[in-house]
Amino acid sequence: GAGVSQSPRYKVTKRGQDVALRCDPISGHVSLYWYRQALGQGPEFLTYFNYEAQQDKSGLPNDRFSAERPEGSISTLTIQRTEQRDSAMYRCASSLSAGQGNTGELFFGEGSRLTVL
């Protein structure tokens, strides 16, 4: 596609439910990143893939959070047994070459806003 596409744009769920957030990167982009942005704060790194391989998941807050990118394209971020503190904007980004975070050449989607009641 023309840009990074995320869905759903808005998700309201009840505490304890599982949610899945989807990211469709720019076609041909090797790397895919997930960031989380709490209200009034900047994005914080969650995890990163090169192709289908998860290179770093050190930013995932706990084991309720997981991510996959099974075919090296679309990625899903899953949050199990959601809690109110999980409420945030979840942002996906992609880059053309592997590991371009340091060059800043990341292309971000519009984000998925999650609200846990």
Partner 1 sequence: GNSVTQMEGPVTLSEEAFLTINCTYTATGYPSLFWYVQYPGEGLQLLLKATKADDKGSNKGFEATYRKETTSFHLEKGSVQVSDSAVYFCALGTNDYKLSFGAGTTVTVRA
Please identify, using beta-carbon distances, which residue of 29 and 91 lies nearer to partner 1.
91
**Nearest residue to 82 via CA among 10, 22, 23, 13:** 13
Please identify, using beta-carbon distances, which residue of 54 and 80 lies nearer to partner 1.
54
Regarding 102 and contact with partner 1 (CB under 8 A), the answer is: yes
Residue 13: strand pairing partners = 116
Residues of this chain, 7-66, that bind partner 1 according to CB under 8 A: 31, 33, 35, 40-45, 48, 55-56, 59
Contacts of residue 110, Cβ cutoff 8 Å, sequence gap at least 6: 6, 9
User: What is the Cα–Cα distance from 109 to 117, expressed in whole angstroms?
Assistant: 25
CB of 67 to partner 1, least distance (A): 14
Do residues 97 and 26 touch, judged by C-beta distance below 8 A?
Answer: no
Regarding 110 and contact with partner 1 (CB under 8 A), the answer is: yes
CB of 35 to partner 1, least distance (A): 8
Largest distance between two CA atoms of the chain: 39
Binding site for partner 1 (CB under 8 A): 3-4, 31, 33, 35, 40-45, 48, 55-56, 59, 91, 93, 98-111
